[in-house]
Structure 1
Amino acid sequence: MNLTRDEARARADLLTVHSYDITLDLTRGDRLFRSTTVIRFDAEQGASTFIDAVTQTLHRVELNGVVLEPDDVSDGVRIQLPTLAATNTLVVDADMPYMNTGEGLHRFVDPVDDEVYLYTQFEVPDSRRVFAVFEQPDLKATFRFSVTAPSHWDVISNSATPDPVPAGPDAAAGSTWSFAPTPVISSYVTALVAGPYQSVRSELTSSSGRTIPLGVFARKSLMQYLDAENIFELTRQGFAFYEEQFGTPYPFEKYDQLFVPEFNAGAMENAGAVTLVETYVFRSRVPDATVERRAITILHELAHMWFGDLVTMRWWNDLWLNESFAEYMSTLAAAEATEFEQAWTTFTMLEKGWAYRQDQLPSTHPIVARIDDLEDVQVNFDGITYAKGASVLKQLVAWVGQEEFMAGVRRYFAEHAGKNTELVDLLTELEAASGRDLKAWSALWLETAGVNTLRPDLTTDDDGRITSFAILQGAVEAFPTLRPHRLAVGLYDHDDGGALVRVHRVELDVDGERTDVPELIGRQQPALVLLNDDDLTYAKIRLDPASLRTSVQHVRDFRDSLPRTLVLASAWDATRDGESPAREYLELVLRNIGAESDSSVVLVLLRQLASALAFYVRPQDRGALGDAAADSLLELALAAPAGSDAQLQFTKAFADHARTEGQLDTLEAMLNGERVPAGLTIDQDLRWELLTGLVVGGRFTESEIAAELVQDSTATGQLAAAGARAAVPMAEAKEAAWSALVDSADLPNAVQRSMIAGFTRVHDRSLLTPFVERYFTSIEGVWSSRTHEIAQQIVVGLYPSLLTEQATLDATDAFLAGLDPESSSLRRLVLESRDGVERALRAQAVDG
């Protein structure tokens, strides 16, 4: 199933692929579909190569009119192609299996109406699960789909949906949809979505003057919750912003957005047919942070129509060319073209936090990563490729200038539209537009790993005036690179109303171990000095002692959300790094979160609160601190404005942490409609959260779960019930969940994900101890026998992270010592999980 970079490079040197004609029959039952592919391509005369096709049964292989014996040329994954002509036509006819893993052609049955819904997910290497294909991004071609399916279905692909025609003389034969060929694109951004999806339609006018049809799709049973007009508004805003910024009109003929079930990611940038996780169709109230996250996702995928689909990386080592740009541009678009003006605050708290965390793992890597094969790239959709890359782009913009940067991007699209590119292609255009030599910048920022830490070093005289000020830059021994930073230093003081406001700002270049800032000498020392004000660069920051005291007492007093977020992020970094006690961070959050106005900041702070309690406080104090935190969260929920976002988030957090009899009594009263905070609606999804909290606390068991499922027999209800059953705090329930997850291979991806979350949600961690040895004896078999997505969920999700003790490290080290050196991706995932336990032990040692 693997493909190396060397194999891909050799195949690309041999071939020029022109077109795929793909015929799919989706009327042949619930396990298999028929796939017939005709590929036309040029090759080096007399050469041999292979095409990728994951088949159940291979019926026919015909190369240039010669029938090849399937058993002689195929191993079920690759089909060997001997003695090619200069111009070739290949026909591959096969049965292929539907998947329930979110890879290939995923099949889902809606429990509400028993209707079947299909969708494809091809990134990285899974178009070969649907048709025969040269599965690599630099062998672009046109794709023409012809699909036979039940007549009452809708069928959507990259090209506009044609009128179907009867496939046979009777209705049982279904109908056939014959799509026009796509533009030249990579196989991983082709798409097919089929089933009785319903839609809302609209349109917009492109900067080219073309009318672009728009569609938003969802399952029938979810259409009542679909807020299509909000999605259309964001789409129009994104279109206008990107077409102006990129200087290139939207490159495809239509733009559909399809919310699909059991999706593994947030979304996928299929050209003109974006698929999105259907939890973004809100059947219950969600935090405003989730609404913003959906908006960023919509804008991210739209940016991919240019970065990724129109211009595509040559090989996966330049994946950042797709993802980092889409991440940066989606945040920029949200902040400048939509209602989400605080998007950079969210980026700082959420995305950069992810990047800092990933960049301190033993598996950290440069943004431009070494990708030797498909296994490498499949574990590289991480915080480096997305969030660090986007952060570094923001730093590049600060260095060269916004207009100069976008001018380089416009040159890039003008020069490379429809092509494949590498890092040097982008840098060439940015250098030409900005006049900057970016080779040294690239070497330091894109081609080295690790995160720097910046600290202020200042002295004052007896009158409190600054006599010296410097910025100190450090790096860890393993990744010692010191980088140039374009950043700002902000000085903050209290105004007459007590708010912390910026009174002075200096923007400068920082380089090396020490950079003096003479512009600040002679100024009165303010209440707080903030390095990297406006968050221009990518680096962890620390506060001087006086500023740290101010932050602890007055972080809620910042008038603006971004500096407040930077201070909170610094405190969290210091906690994770074992520089300050975790209990102090708990106190900081609980004292100030009630005044926080930004929903995304509240969401992240509550996650960090949970992590600090789970991993970083001393184990002997965890129970008491957790109980106190739960009481505080309940107080915050009761004190929050009626019907507010904060009220909802605090209630959800209380349900997660409730443990004492009194707390469980309150939780049960809420579920029963008693003691509900004024203005809070206990809707169905919140009911499941309250009920699961009662299950984890030992108050509810199977009977209550089954009764709730009768009331909510939807797909969402079934997932919630699966998670709740796995969370029952009894050895028998944990054993049943483990058996279903590890010993069996039948669970759909979404059910498996929900059960893993339930299995690991415990108050009594000794329930997980019996599974440590079983984990390490099982995961090699899981890794070798399951698809990548399913295996990674198990390897990461079931690692004994909550057992933060030396025995866990010892068991991990023993496993790694015996692991085949060739299992590099599995080794990486286990090492990353091990690092979490090691970091927890360091943090616990300073807590107290």
Structure 2
Amino acid sequence: MSDISQAITREQAQLRAAQLEVHHYRLEIDVTDDAEFQVDAVITFSASQGAIGHTSFIDLLGHQVSSAKLNGTDVSYDGAQLALANLQQDNELVVSSSSQYSTTGEGLHRYVDPFDEAEYLYSQCEPADARRIFPVFEQPDLKATFELHVTAPAHWTVLSNEPGDFALDDDVARWTFDTTPVMSSYLFALIAGEYTQVAQSSWDTESASVPLSIWARKSMAFHVDAEEMLDITRAGFAFYEEQFGVAYPFTKYDQIFVPEFNAGAMENIGAVTITESYIFRSAVPQAMVQRRAITILHELAHMWFGNLVTMRWWDDLWLNESFAEFVSHLAAIHAGYSDAWTTFNAAEKTWAYRQDQLATTHPVIADMVDLDAVAVNFDGITYAKGASVLRQLVAWVGTEHFMAGVRAYFTEHAWSNTEFSDLLRHLEAASGRDLAGWADEWLHSTGVNTLSWQRHEDSVVITQSQPARQHRVGIGFYDVINDRLTRTDFLEIDLKSEVTAIAAQESPVIVVNDGDLTYAKLRPDTTSLSTLTERLGDIDDSLTRSLLWGAAWDKTRDGEISGSWFLKLILQHIGAETDSSVVFSLLRQATTVLDNFLPSSQGSGYREQFATGIWELAQEAEAGSDIQLQLVQAYIRHARHDAVVAQLAEKRGLEGFSVSTDMSWSALQRLVALGEVGESEIDAALAEDDSSTGHLAAVQARAMIPTSDAKAEAWEQISTGDLTNLELRHMVMGFGDVHDPQLLDPYVDKYFDQINQLWADSSFETAETLALGLFPMWAITERTAQRTISVAETTSYTGLERILTELHDDVRRALTAQATF
């Protein structure tokens, strides 16, 4: 059974919180051994009067326990928990144990750089993987102080939540870190290895000076845009301290790029870990640069919202993430990214709309009955729908009232745990509004409204799908001025019922929800849609264009219009698009259409037509521009002829366009999938790029070799091999990237026959990669749909059930789209 399924329930957590008050963890961790780490833990806690003499438990996953005593008496261990019997008013638990390092990115992960064989460790504890490192009361409302001592090789750097110092003892260093303020266990940080400090600075005010540092592994340090990151970080400090009315509450702020990281970043107090995907060793779309900036600001926001004031239980995970997502976009505008809300609409809201239309949709405030439920709810509703709903709330009550409520919330609840009702109370007091009805409408319900509008004489009639909610929306009227579609009038109204009629001028384009204040799908009127089909690229506002691109995509996803129409719309107007995030999203959506929404009998023809069109646009684009880069990347993804791709693999591109090593790898991988090149060319490319990035590119390329033997070998390594989390991810991507789906016919049955066992044998992160990455979307048939739902309905694994239910929805949607074609 998967470790993550040894879940703590909300009911258990509530009982334990009522029984216990945790005071202090003293941790001595030895990481000098390559195979395993040693932990000596002393934990002090007290029991409530009613719990004295009774039994509780503390969490510890997968350790070898050599000694464990509670108040001097041996305690039992079952591989997941230590039983704490005969509790006293004051208790001391002493545990000595050891465990192997993680290779899945959960707990204490170990990585060896293939370039220089340098070693790197980092912890990842959210939502409940501190228990893989040391014995811990693994729930957010049992905060305590942490005192950390680490024994490490003398040449390593060791970082944690607080500043530390070391004393050398021959070839080891003994590190001692300052004791933390009270904090939740999921925020614990231990980063150790041959990390190098890329840059350092400080955030200085009249009352404090906070050290700021950027860290990375040695072989990646050169590529880190450290000064840009520090500029964004300082802008975030300035914005949040002003808006929240509370100075940064911790001692320092390290940001550490760590290898093989599963998430984008993690908000460990004072030691934020960030994926190396945000280290750009070659040109990337500006969309990625902006996404990195927003991620930096998102994690910084958590220092207040999540770390200073923490959710009591994971039911309020949405608020932790949604708040950080919402304010990070406000902060991004302050930091100079004026089009941050366009990025939010193009990327985050698209994610939310998809998630909210699945059979597994859930209210923003989800019912997190146990840690299994938590693990699968780091999703588009928790992050993006919640942030969208907060934006709608701010549009309703006003930014100043919202921030006044937030400031009062921080003042009252600093260092403690709260529930959403605590924040709602402060927002009501600041705004003078009763928000209970709003919370019921938006936070305790599911689904997304569709706003459609039609023209009737001198009015526009707006209809919203049921159940109707109150929407604060802007309505924009666009006319042709200097050959551009420019907004000539604008008003804000509240939509409170199913049908709302407003007086309106005649305009070529009318946009409901202009400004994107609410959360809803859009269905433009016939005149607007006709104008947009011909002139979408002429709209002079990036957010409005993104909204209307989104409406076109929704109609395509919902099977209301052919995927071929959407592809034509992209080819007609993407060349005029100036927003990188919109281009990025459109090209991903085009891939979904080409992979899933076109009948197999016509897919190859439309893919060739689309690739040809994209290459023509790339040739017409400004040399070296962001859009040219994205168009060339898309061409490589969809090309089915080798001549141009071969040139790109040899780093020969368009005039004025520099082909990076990363792009040449992508081109080589496409040649591999075409059957034009193989092992020897992959080996030669790896010899030229002997780096961790090159290693992963080669892993993916080998899995793309279009032979039965290569696919069989890849499946064997994926299902039984000793791969790290990132190697597994790249091999899975390569395995499924085929030009002839018949090559993977044998693996449809293999998937459904084996996925239960693969899930059972894996940690959650690994299991999720396998369940999603190996799913046979190359075989979109009624039989695939039926087998998917059959396994979903019979599996005993909650996480797998949810993933398969969502994949079943994807297959059904694809079948509907193909029928519409």
**Bin of the TM-score, shorter chain as denominator length:** over 0.9
Question: Could you tell me how far 1:814 is from its partner in structure 2?
Answer: 2.9
- Corresponding residue of 1:351: 348
Matches within 5 A, 1:333-482: 333-335=331-333, 337-460=334-457, 466=458, 468-475=459-466, 481-482=467-468
* Partner secondary structure for residue 331 of structure 2: helix
Q: Distance in 2 between matches of 1:761 and 1:58?
A: 44
Question: Could you tell me how far 1:354 is from its partner in structure 2?
Answer: 0.3
Matches within 5 A, 1:294-693: 294-335=292-333, 337-460=334-457, 466=458, 468-475=459-466, 481-495=467-481, 497-518=482-503, 520=504, 523=505, 525-660=506-641, 664-674=642-652, 676-693=653-670
Matched residue count: 813
Task: Report which stretch shifted further, 614-623 or 104-113.
Answer: 614-623
Q: Is the 8 A contact 1:742 1:778 kept in 2?
A: no
Q: Is the 8 A contact 1:60 1:67 kept in 2?
A: no
Matches within 5 A, 1:243-258: 243-258=241-256
Question: Could you tell me how far 1:166 is from its partner in structure 2?
Answer: 2.2
* Selected match of 1:757 from 714, 719, 733: 733
Q: Distance in 1 between matches of 2:802 and 2:651?
A: 47
* Partner secondary structure for residue 332 of structure 1: helix
Question: Could you tell me how far 1:819 is from its partner in structure 2?
Answer: 2.5
Q: Deviations over 1:69-126 (max 9, x none)?
A: 5xxx101110001001101111111011100000000000011111110000000110
* Partner secondary structure for residue 377 of structure 2: coil
Q: Deviations over 1:49-70 (max 9, x none)?
A: 0001124310111211x1305x
Q: Distance in 2 between matches of 1:673 and 1:725?
A: 20
Question: Could you tell me how far 1:201 is from its partner in structure 2?
Answer: 4.0
* Partner secondary structure for residue 758 of structure 1: helix
Q: Is the 8 A contact 2:781 2:815 kept in 1?
A: yes
* Partner secondary structure for residue 164 of structure 2: coil
Q: Distance in 2 between matches of 1:783 and 1:429?
A: 44
- Corresponding residue of 2:10: 5
Question: Could you tell me how far 1:378 is from its partner in structure 2?
Answer: 0.2
Q: Distance in 2 between matches of 1:375 and 1:737?
A: 29
Q: Distance in 2 between matches of 1:385 and 1:208?
A: 37
Over 3 Å counting, the alpha-carbon distance change for 1:135 and 1:673 in structure 2 is closer
* Partner secondary structure for residue 218 of structure 1: strand
Letter in 1 for 2:800: L
Letter in 2 for 1:447: H
Question: Could you tell me how far 1:206 is from its partner in structure 2?
Answer: 4.9
Letter in 1 for 2:98: D
Q: Does 1:166 pair with 2:163? A: no
Q: Is the 8 A contact 1:207 1:249 kept in 2?
A: no
Letter in 2 for 1:568: W
Structure 2 stretches of 5 or more lacking a match? 1-5
Question: Could you tell me how far 1:672 is from its partner in structure 2?
Answer: 2.4
Letter in 2 for 1:453: T
Q: Deviations over 1:713-760 (max 9, x none)?
A: 21111111111111111111111111111133x210000011111111
Q: Distance in 2 between matches of 1:487 and 1:697?
A: 49
Question: Could you tell me how far 1:824 is from its partner in structure 2?
Answer: 2.3
Q: Is the 8 A contact 2:61 2:132 kept in 1?
A: yes
Q: Does 1:41 pair with 2:45? A: yes
* Partner secondary structure for residue 696 of structure 1: helix
Q: Distance in 1 between matches of 2:520 and 2:417?
A: 32
* Selected match of 1:828 from 792, 799, 802: 802
Q: Is the 8 A contact 2:673 2:739 kept in 1?
A: yes
Q: Distance in 2 between matches of 1:201 and 1:719?
A: 27
- Corresponding residue of 1:813: 789
Q: Distance in 1 between matches of 2:67 and 2:123?
A: 24
- Corresponding residue of 1:478: none
Q: Distance in 2 between matches of 1:669 and 1:132?
A: 55
Q: Distance in 2 between matches of 1:195 and 1:692?
A: 32
Letter in 1 for 2:88: A
Q: Is the 8 A contact 1:487 1:509 kept in 2?
A: yes
Q: Deviations over 1:311-344 (max 9, x none)?
A: 1111111001210001001111112x12211010
Matches within 5 A, 1:21-32: 21-27=26-32, 29-32=33-36
| TM value normalised by structure 1 | 0.95
Q: Deviations over 1:504-550 (max 9, x none)?
A: 111000012112224x2xx2x10001010000000001110000001
Letter in 2 for 1:491: F
Q: Distance in 1 between matches of 2:454 and 2:617?
A: 38
- Corresponding residue of 2:278: 280
Q: Distance in 2 between matches of 1:685 and 1:193?
A: 28
Question: Could you tell me how far 1:47 is from its partner in structure 2?
Answer: 2.1
| TM value normalised by structure 2 | 0.98
Q: Deviations over 1:199-256 (max 9, x none)?
A: 0343334556200001100001111111211110000000000111111111100000
* Selected match of 2:69 from 59, 62, 70: 62
- Corresponding residue of 1:175: 173
Q: Deviations over 1:584-630 (max 9, x none)?
A: 00000011111111111111111011111111123221111100111
- Corresponding residue of 2:87: 84
* Partner secondary structure for residue 82 of structure 2: strand
Q: Is the 8 A contact 1:203 1:211 kept in 2?
A: no
* Selected match of 1:709 from 683, 686, 698: 686
- Corresponding residue of 2:3: none
Q: Distance in 1 between matches of 2:161 and 2:656?
A: 45
- Corresponding residue of 2:777: 801
Structure 1 stretches of 5 or more lacking a match? 461-465, 476-480
Q: Is the 8 A contact 2:203 2:237 kept in 1?
A: no
- Corresponding residue of 1:260: 258
Identity of matched residues, %: 48
Question: Which has the higher relative contact order, 1 or 2, with Cα contacts under 8 A spaced 6 or more apart?
Answer: 2
Question: Could you tell me how far 1:813 is from its partner in structure 2?
Answer: 3.0
Q: Distance in 1 between matches of 2:113 and 2:339?
A: 37
* Selected match of 1:100 from 98, 103, 106: 103
- Corresponding residue of 1:463: none
Q: Distance in 2 between matches of 1:516 and 1:228?
A: 53
* Partner secondary structure for residue 832 of structure 1: helix
Letter in 2 for 1:61: A
Question: Could you tell me how far 1:810 is from its partner in structure 2?
Answer: 1.9
Q: Distance in 1 between matches of 2:46 and 2:808?
A: 49
Q: Distance in 2 between matches of 1:551 and 1:706?
A: 49
Q: Does 1:271 pair with 2:244? A: no
* Selected match of 2:58 from 51, 55, 66: 51
* Partner secondary structure for residue 537 of structure 1: coil
Q: Distance in 1 between matches of 2:492 and 2:789?
A: 46
Over 3 Å counting, the alpha-carbon distance change for 1:291 and 1:817 in structure 2 is closer
